[in-house]
Amino acid sequence: MNVYLSLIIVIISMNSTVFAEKKNILFIAADDLNCDISAYGVKQVKAPNLDRLAKMGMRFDRAYCQQPLCGPSRASVMSGLRPNTLGVFTLNDKLRHRRPNLVTLGEFFKNKGYYSGRVGKIYHYGNPTYIGTNGHDDEQTWTERFNPKGIDRTQEENIIRYPGGITGKKGGLGISMSWWAPESKDSEHTDGMVADRAIEMIERNKDKPFFIAAGFFNPHCPYVAPKKYFDMYDIDKIKLQDLEEAKKDLEDVPKIAIARDGGKRWPYYYKGLTVAEAKQCKLAYYATVSFIDAQVGRLLDTLEKNNLMENTIIVFWSDHGYFLGEKGLWFKRKAFERSVRAPLLIATSDIKKSQVCFKPVELVDLYPTLVEQAGFEVPQGLDGLSLTPLLNDPKAKWNKPAITQIHHAADKQGYSLRNERWRYTEWNGGKDGLELYDHENDPQEVHNLAEDSQYALLIKELSQQLSGFSKTYVPNPQKMNKKRK
């Protein structure tokens, strides 16, 4: 009997050791968050906990989404595949339509014995319409999932809508210039509830390996947060680009480049919307950023409280960037830097602290990165590359450009390449226009150099690089799925 007892003790001890050696992952997502945060040098926007996280690990200064639209971007992140490979281009395309047997990021860790839990928005949700539901979530990814719903959803009639400052209506807020600053507690709002549940998930699963995804809905419109976060900002210090100057910025841009959220809708997307209303919306956006920053701080505090920092990989990301009046534009869905660049922070005890990487990287790189950082072999067939070499040395050799695509319709597509200096964009293979921006001298992408003959050879070279990504080519799904099992 003692022999059997000893054997059981040894087995339990071995399993405990295996679990202890596995890296936890805290996967934190924001919705529509651009790089207007203090960690990226925009000191006006108060986000001390994201500053704290950046100091714990590495800030990727040039991280880019694969499509500046929530659904395709998030599907790409979670599958490790580009939109073309996956076949997800719109908000309604199904994740597993072309890849029924794909193994998603959370599913990979679940298959390795991890607890895989989600709270809030990781895959696409119509925001705020689908808050409180599973939205377009993938059930197969998770061990369990939670869908909180706060007053930002249940009291939509209180949200102020521009133009005009209208209240008393429900619905129609997915693309809107709207805000609300109630006297409320964080926990009354959906994102406060997301943090509450994520904390519970961490504490409940702290003795086994976990992949916990906390998806915040802010700062996606409508811009709703407790009033105390609005009070952190002074409307007189909120600045917008002069509209005459903004109009000139777009004079040399192909029409298709702003066809969706510009053109007849310029400026600020809504006819009749005033500069003062746009400024208030920009303030409200900043307030919601500070609100989610506070929730991130609570998650970091929970890891520290439970002695989990040393054994947890922390990732903070957003699905794409966002315009806040620059060039007279609002929202996303454009090939400009402002729309496709996203914040990306990674912290793990295995890398040096307070590092910054200026190499262009892609959100599709997150899947192989986390798999490798957790000590597992990276599956074949992923479109991204592990960022481990850059986590070890931010100046390591890295020749891969970042590729972003725009898909408005089958005949309205663009592909954009970003390397360390240049952004090059082709619209419908170039027949509807080209864009070339020199980020060394023109970081705001004001001067389109595509028509300047002195850059003809450069354009030819960049076009050749881009051609490998801009074909809508999907490998045989059965062959691809077989590889990834």
Asked if the 24-395 domain carries CATH number 3.40.50.300, the reply is no
Domains of the chain, by residue range, sit at: 24-395
Side-chain-side CA neighbours of residue 309 (13 Å): 13
How far, in Å, CA of 64 to CA of 70, rounded? 13
Beta bridge partners of 24: 312
Beta bridge partners of 331: 323
How far, in Å, CA of 97 to CA of 462, rounded? 32
- On the question of pLDDT at 396 being above 60, the answer is yes
- The CB density around residue 275, as the number of other CB atoms within 10 Å, is 13
- On the question of pLDDT at 207 being above 60, the answer is yes
- The CB density around residue 9, as the number of other CB atoms within 10 Å, is 10
Active site residue 70: yes
Q: For residue range 427-456, what is the model confidence (pLDDT) as tens digits? A: 999 999 999 999 999 999 999 999 999 999
pLDDT at 264: 82
| 35, 65, 97, 124: the active-site residue | 124
Active site residue 221: no
C-alpha angle with apex 409: 267 to 444, nearest 5 degrees? Answer: 40
Q: What is the pTM of this model?
A: 0.93
Indicate if the alpha-carbon torsion angle 43, 49, 53, 56 is positive or negative. positive
Q: For residue range 57-116, what is the model confidence (pLDDT) as tens digits? A: 999 999 999 999 999 999 999 999 999 999 999 999 999 998 999 999 999 999 999 999
Residue tagged 């994520």 (tokens): 198
